[in-house]
Structures are given as C-alpha cells and as structure tokens.
Amino acid sequence: NGLWLVDGETAKVYLLHYSGAVKEEIETNASHPTAIEADDVGLWIAVDDGRKLIRIELETGKRVREFDLPGAGPVKWGPPGEPGKETGIQGLARRNGELFAASPADAAIYVVKVQDGSVVRSVPAQGIRPQGLAWDRDGSLWCADADSRSFFKMEPASGKIIKQHMLPFAAPEVHGKVIVPHGLTIWQRMMYFCSPQTGAVYRTPLVSRTR
C-alpha cells in the first residue's frame, strides 16, 4: 500500500506513496520510536530508544501489545574516551510469525516471536552499526549498516553475507555531511532508506556486487 515511516521526534506514523505524498497519518503517543514494520492489520514499532516493541492496530490506532526487546546497551563508537550512547533495536523485518530486529549495540540481528517477544535466536550482523532490515524476493535478508554506508544481503539463518551494495563514497551529501542510511525497505527493485540528518527518504537501485 505504500511506504511506512515513523518520525523519531513526533512519534507520528505516516503511510507514504512512493512518490512521497502522504496517504495516512497516525498518532502513536510512543516514546522515542526507532523502527517500524507493518502487516495486513497492524504495525510493529520499536520504542523507548529500541528497548520495547509495541503493537498498533491500524483500524483503531490503539496499542494492543507491548514486549521488551533484546540488544539494548552502549554502542561501540563515539568520541574517544567517552562511553558509547545507550541504544536498542534500530530495524525490524517480519516473516512467518517472527520479527528480525537489528541491534547496533550487539552488532547482531535478533529473531523474536510476535506472540510474546521471546528470543528465538540471533545471527551476527556485518559492520558495527546495523540499522534497517528488508526482505529480498528470493528470501534473503538485507541489512543497512550506517558505519560503512552499505547494504548487506544475508542468509537469514546464519548471517552469511551473499552480496554488498555500497552507496557512493561522497553522496548523497547535504550541507557538507554525507548521509548515512537508517531504516530500509525494498520495492520494485529499489532500496528506500531514510536519514536522521535531513528527515528525508532516499532511494537507490538494487544493484549489488558479490563480496
């Protein structure tokens, strides 16, 4: 139906047309949302800086479930001599009653059950700053890594890297800052990602090289 986007500042959720036009707006009243995933009847949103998972009904906009999420902790990057910022899950992707959840603090992808939030397993993520997750039509899982400005195509069961798609070295650039990818979805062989620096959504063709 379109592209779901959650605003980390206002906690509002938007359904966008792929041209960028707003089709729907939902007020969640959530605290510090960091990731979103949709199904036919509701939304899964990582909140409280990625420490919790909530379920929102599309028909009513009400919160109907809430679980703790794994993977929260200090990240491994930042200014020298200073402790890493505490963060939690930054990317979600749903499949067969499970949610894949990207944790920058652990550089891992957790698999949790949608029924109760229990952890099924985890696989390593490439890089040190995994963000958005999205499914390829062949069943592989793509993971955006903000640190390397790359998108890694992975085997979801093992985390083995199949391909790597890198953004251009110096683009996109806004006001002298090179944009790093957050969030991820794939539609008609285009990868869509967003930027916290600009509040904009970008897209790039899904053309990959074998690693």
Q: How far is CA 171 from the centre of its chain?
A: 21
Nearest to 98 by CA among 150, 37, 19: 37
* Pairing mode of beta strands 86-87, 91-95: unpaired
CB 153 within 8 A of CB 142: yes
- Whether the pTM exceeds 0.85: the reply is yes
Residue-level pLDDT at 199: 83
Instruction: Report the relative pairing of strands 141-145 and 150-154 from DSSP bridges.
Output: antiparallel
Sequence letter at residue 179: I
Confidence bin at 171 (pLDDT 50/70/90): low
Tens of pLDDT, residue by residue over 122-158, are 999 988 899 999 999 999 999 999 988 899 999 999 9
Strands, DSSP E only, in 70-179? Answer: 73-74, 86-87, 91-95, 98-103, 108-113, 119-124, 130-135, 141-145, 150-154, 161-166, 173-174, 177-178
DSSP SS3 for 189: coil
More confident residue, 51 or 169: 51
Task: Look at phi and psi of residue 114 and say left if phi exceeds 0, alpha if psi is from -120 to 50, else beta.
Answer: alpha
Tally the C-alpha atoms within 13 A of residue 36's C-alpha that lie toward its C-beta: 23
My answer on whether omega of the bond before 172 falls inside 30° of 0, hence cis, is yes
Query: What are the Cα distances from residue 35, in Å, to 38, 44, 136?
Result: 11, 8, 19
Residue 112 φ/ψ region, left for φ over 0, alpha for ψ in the -120 to 50 degree band, beta for the rest: beta
